[in-house]
A and B are shown apart, each in its own frame.
Chain A
Amino acid sequence: MQTSLTINGETRQLDLDPRTSLLDALRHHLGLTGSKKGCDHGQCGACTVLINGRRVNACLSLLCMHEGDEVVPIEGLGQPGALSPMQQAFVEKDGYQCGYCTPGQICSATAMLEEIAQGWPSHVTADLEARPELTTEEISERMSGNLCRCSAYPNIVDAIRKAAGETA
């Protein structure tokens, strides 16, 4: 099945089985292995990518659902020598240990800050009408879909705070 979409700003045409997940398309057919397969169930978050600016578990999404969409996996956020503010903050705050969840954490955190900026409430937001604040509780709740077995969470939260401070 033909699918045409934009990946990291480049238009790509793929002709794959319609059951191919976006994650498998990235990893196996486009050679973009930055997005990781942790559980393939949408529960660990290691495969998180940005689709039209929103965070999505690439393992739970079929490639063919993304005709015309703009997909940005970790490789599109920044490269060595030209890191995004979030990537730079993760380096400065040691926001990882083994690194396997890191691409998903960074994609997720990047979109999460945008969600807060747009005023989206979360499960722990007390006032649904007010603009949510970037509290530690909000970060923890909003990032709870990205597991880190090394539990580098304190540094991940510090990195997100740092990046938020710089982009705010």
Chain B
Amino acid sequence: MSVGKPLPHDSAVLHVTGQARYVDDIPAPAHALHLAFGLSRIARGRVVSMKLDKVRAAPGVAMVLTADDLDRPADCSPSAHDEPLLSDGTVHYMGQQLFLVAADSHLAARKAARLAEVEYEEEEPILTVEQALAANSRFEDGPRVWSKGDAETAISNAPRRLKGRLEMGGQEHFYLEGMAAMAQPQEDGVTIHSSTQHPTEIQHKVADALGLPMSAVKVECRRMGGGFGGKESQGNALAVACAIVAGKTGRACRMRYDRDDDMTITGKRHDFRVDYEVGYDEDGRVLGVDFTHYTRCGWSLDLSLPVADRAMLHADNAYLLDAVRITSHRLKTNHQSATAFRGFGGPQGVLGIERVMDEVAHELGLDPLEVRRRNFYRAASELNEAPQHHDDPAPALPKDGDTDLASRGAQAQLPSGGAAPETGANTTPYGMEVTDFILHEMTERLLETSDYKARRAAIAEWNAENPVLKRGIAFSPVKFGISFTLTHLNQAGALVHVYQDGSIHLNHGGTEMGQGLFRKVAQVAAARFGVSPERVRITATDTHKVPNTSATAASSGSDLNGMAAQAACDTIRDRISEFLAGLHQCKPSEVRFADDQVHVGGESLSFEQAVKLAYEARVSLSATGFYKTPDLKWDRIKGQGRPFFYFAHGCAVTEVAIDTLTGENRILRTDILHDAGHSLNPALDKGQIEGGYVQGAGWLTTEELVWDDKGALRTHAPSTYKIPACSDRPDVFHVNLWDAPNPAQTIYRSKAVGEPPFMLGISAFLALSHAAAACGPHYPALDAPATAERVLAAAKRARG
């Protein structure tokens, strides 16, 4: 069977020969126009005057548009309709789009855009957490607060207490393929090629901007050169701009951001400040904890509410907290609008509690590993009851036709449901019973295979003897909730055709950004028909084939689309079975599809023969499939319910070395054990784990975003923004799969694997902290990203 095999990526040969086409590689139709935005040079204020005569007169320019030139308001927001395509005169961040140039080449458009003469009335930008709090500049009416038990009393009654603060930076996606879109006018609508994780959102925003029904807009995406969340909502502006100019000129339009523009315009991971106060006992058990999250969301709402929610949802990570309060401030600042990025707030929440565990262990002189294990949720194997799933109805959706229903931002507008908190001994701060916790067993195995204890002892000895270079080692776990927290997004569709020659056409709503989704879903389809995977033709995501799709996000791609494809394949397979059973006077259940053959009534037909017979007997060989995740209910205002179908787990041990004179550092060895359920494709899953870890470690070490006091992003190219290179990966890197079936009924009992391993990079950060702590008696209180400067400062703090 094709499922579970380490088959290569679907476009392997195309990738290595340069034949794989990305949006900007599609040959431009004749007379295509190229677009560029004119960008604001201030972070906050008003445009007093904008002279565009020189722009219009520049060579090759065909059209220049400002907000006033648009026939109807064009909005690019995935949530609150607060992102006009072109500024209405108010400037909210440096890099905001003021006007749009269309010219006969990419270079001509960009050059012309620089010729604008813009006068501004500048205002003092709101840039820091303190400034935003002082100005009460925030989204929602106030902070969200979720709690379980009485944290305040628990902390004040605890034998020991500590307070602290952790700052963590944001992160640029740096998808190697920058944002790109192309629009081709059609006789009654438009076709868009977009590098997007969310074709339906692009379709919706383009239709809205053109005043067309969604049915008149076709959006296609064959592949992206990386997404990481950055292409969930940030591609809207390019597609909408191309569609508008295509509509006005009747010419094909294409647009791609130059790298500096891309980094200047588009949103990044949310940075967070986490203030914490914890009460604990002498054994390191956390008795009560109070977290306050402050996140700078940038100028518009985008997906900040669900991101900040997910940070709260992961403030417990793997630990059973009896008394906890989480307060979350979503601050509105004059920056790029922070957006989705692998983990979607989860990593920021997880890092908060991991810091608490680390500091508690330091104060008690315990191995942080032991403090973590003592606070773990109870193991699934120790719980009396089998995992239970509930099927209460989901809260009703609003009837407001103006809502971006297919966006994760839509939850800002949903009414609260009536979910009641669950009661039990193993519940999360949001009242969900944890019934599938396997980190005790996983930790045990990883400690053995990584030889953690002996290495930790050896490092302590080594550090005692070496004054300049210090080594550090740390373990960190992750428990990550799988599902969109906006319940209605947990649906997917697929379209499968079987042609009369036995070839199979597969389409579904998921998008391919390198994670191997297309290969995995094709493996599912091949398995359902009992045929070799080569028979399944993988096709571009297309809103005209499968409608109303959710973003390929929240790690949900194969969970949702695999199930939808399975449903479509089974419909066709059952029709063929029924027909052949009739011919052979047997039960349909006795027809078997395997080895590219169909076995029925003692006879074996080739798959082609079976299909040909079915076709001639007028059996429909085309079907749609649909899936919705069961058992979800969630009230984000109360912070109560069951937002996740299941949890994915992982754990890592990382060893690092630092130079205490310079702060320079490197990762020496990493061991990972990760839970991908029964993996659909172990090769692809291991790639996700390795890549996720390195990207997570990059976020917390070298990737530093710097804005100046005017609000200008100074790190807008790879010259100043350092993502991990080949030489930054661990020298020794052992990655293994736990490989036990998912107790939840997922596709072939696999688990989502896109985001969870990102958080394993936290072990690298904690190991750096451990190394810095070797410099002296005090807690180093390392902030992220742990650049050489911060490591140096942390070492100094440790010395006191």
Contact = CB atoms under 8 A, between A and B. Distances in A.
Interface of A: 27, 31-41, 43-44, 46, 73-75, 77-80, 83, 87-88, 90-92, 94-103, 106, 136-137, 139-141, 143-157
A103 B18 contact: yes
Contacts of B694: 151, 153
Nearest to B724: A151
Interface stretch (B6-14, B289-297, B542-550): B6-14
B224 A98 contact: yes
Contacts of A34: 17-19
10 contacts: A31-B27, A41-B259, A43-B717, A74-B16, A91-B16, A94-B687, A97-B516, A100-B226, A103-B15, A144-B726
B690 A148 contact: no
Contact of B11 (A31, A92, A99, A149): A99
B20 to A, nearest CB: 5
A143 B726 CA distance: 6
B15 A33 contact: no
A149 B733 contact: no
B514 interface: yes
Contact of B177 (A38, A40, A95): A38
B15 A96 contact: yes
Contact of B691 (A31, A46, A151): A151
Given A149-B174, A151-B694, A87 B17 contact: yes
B17 A100 contact: no
A59 to B, nearest CB: 10
Interface residues of B, number: 56
B770 to A, nearest CB: 23
B768 to A, nearest CB: 19
Contacts of B177: 36, 38, 98, 100
Given A151-B724, A152-B690, A154-B729, 17 more contacts: A32-B18, A33-B25, A83-B13, A94-B12, A96-B16, A98-B223, A98-B224, A98-B227, A99-B14, A139-B726, A147-B718, A149-B173, A149-B175, A149-B226, A151-B698, A155-B690, A156-B726
B176 A149 contact: yes
A148 B176 contact: yes
Given A98-B513, A152-B691, A80 B13 contact: yes
A119 to B, nearest CB: 21
B726 A102 contact: no
B423 interface: no
Interface string B173-206: 1111110000000000000000000000000000
B727 interface: yes
Interface string B5-48: 00011011111111111101101000000000000000000000
A140 B726 contact: yes
B744 to A, nearest CB: 26
A77 B226 CA distance: 24
Nearest to A124: B727
A43 B13 contact: no
B514 A151 contact: no
B695 interface: yes
Please list the 9 inter-chain residue pairs (A to B) with the smallest Cβ-Cβ separation, ordered nearest first.
A34-B18, A98-B514, A100-B225, A97-B514, A99-B15, A151-B694, A74-B18, A33-B25, A43-B718
Contacts of A80: 13-14, 17, 19
A153 B16 CA distance: 15
Contacts of A139: 726
B719 interface: yes
A119 B702 CA distance: 32
A155 B726 CA distance: 11
A83 B16 contact: yes
Interface string B215-230: 0000000011111100
Contact of A91 (B12, B19, B178, B514): B12
Contacts of A74: 16-18
A40 B718 CA distance: 10
B723 interface: yes
B9 A97 contact: yes
A94 B8 contact: yes
